[in-house]
Structure 1
C-alpha cells in the first residue's frame, strides 16, 4: 500500500485526457518521480496518479465530467517549488516546454523567484533565498 505524506496534497485535474502526458512532462520539467497510477475503466483516462515533485506528493487525474470533475481552466492556485538551486530547476523546466510568465530574478523580498505555466495551464513558481 502506498504511503502518503501528511498535510495538504495538491490534486490537479488535467484537461482533455492529458494526464498521462502531464506525468511525462512533470518528470522532464520538475524531476518528478511516478509513484503509481490507476487507469479508468474506459482505458483512455487516468482515474488517479501519484507523483512526487521535490520529494512532495502531488496527485493528478483526467477530468471526469460525468462524476463532477469537469474540464475547467486552472485558476487561482500556484504550485510553489522551494528548491536548492532555482536556476537549475528553471532551466530544466523551460527546456521541457514550460512557458515563462515572470522571469526568474532576484526579487525585492529577498528570494530568487520566477513563475512558469505548464502546458496544461497550471502555474508553478520556482524560488530560493537570493544569494547576496
Structure 2
C-alpha cells in the first residue's frame, strides 16, 4: 500500500501567501510542487516536504470564499531527521520559538515554532507508530 503521492494535506490560508510560501521554502525547507496565482493572490499552491510524502496546500485568504480558513489557525507536526537544523534556520529568519530543540519522553527530538502568519509548527524525529 506504499505510495509517494500525499493522501493527506495540511491546508491553510494566509494574508500574504506569496511571502509565506517563500518563508516555507527558504526557512523550513519545503519545495514548491505547484503554484497558481490570480493577480496578486495565490489561488492554490502545493508544497512538498522533501523527507516524506506529506505536503501543504495553501492560498490567499479572501473573506467569504468557500472553504475559508482563518490565517494563523493551523497546527502541524512534521517528521524530520534534523529538527535542530530546522530550528536554526527558523531562528535566523526571526521565527517565534515556542520550544527549543529537546528530547521528549516518547523518544523524539523536537522543536516548536510559529510562522509569520501565526501557524504553529512542530518538527521532530518521531515518525508515529
Secondary structure of residue in 2 paired with 1:120: coil
In structure 1, what is the equivalent of residue 88 of structure 2?
A: 91
In structure 2, what is the equivalent of residue 7 of structure 1?
A: 7
Of stretches 104-113 and 23-32 in structure 1, the one that deviates more from structure 2 is: 104-113
2:106 equivalent to 1:105: no
In the superposition, the TM-score normalised over structure 1's length comes to 0.80
* 1:50-89 mapped onto 2 (5 Å cutoff): 50-54=46-50, 55=52, 56-68=54-66, 70=68, 72-75=70-73, 77-89=74-86
Q: Deviations over 1:17-46 (max 9, x none)?
A: x10001110111111111221112xx1211
CA distance in 1, matches of 2:66, 2:20: 21
Q: Rg larger in 1 or in 2?
A: 1
Deviation at 1:69, TM superposition (A): 5.0
CA distance in 2, matches of 1:60, 1:115: 20
In the superposition, the TM-score normalised over structure 2's length comes to 0.81
Q: How many residue pairs are counted as aligned between the two chains?
A: 121
Q: Match for 2:37 among 13, 36, 39?
A: 39
CA distance in 1, matches of 2:75, 2:70: 16
Shift in CA distance, 123/68, structure 1 to aligned 2, threshold 3 Å: same
Q: Match for 1:28 among 7, 26, 29?
A: 26
Deviation at 1:104, TM superposition (A): 1.4
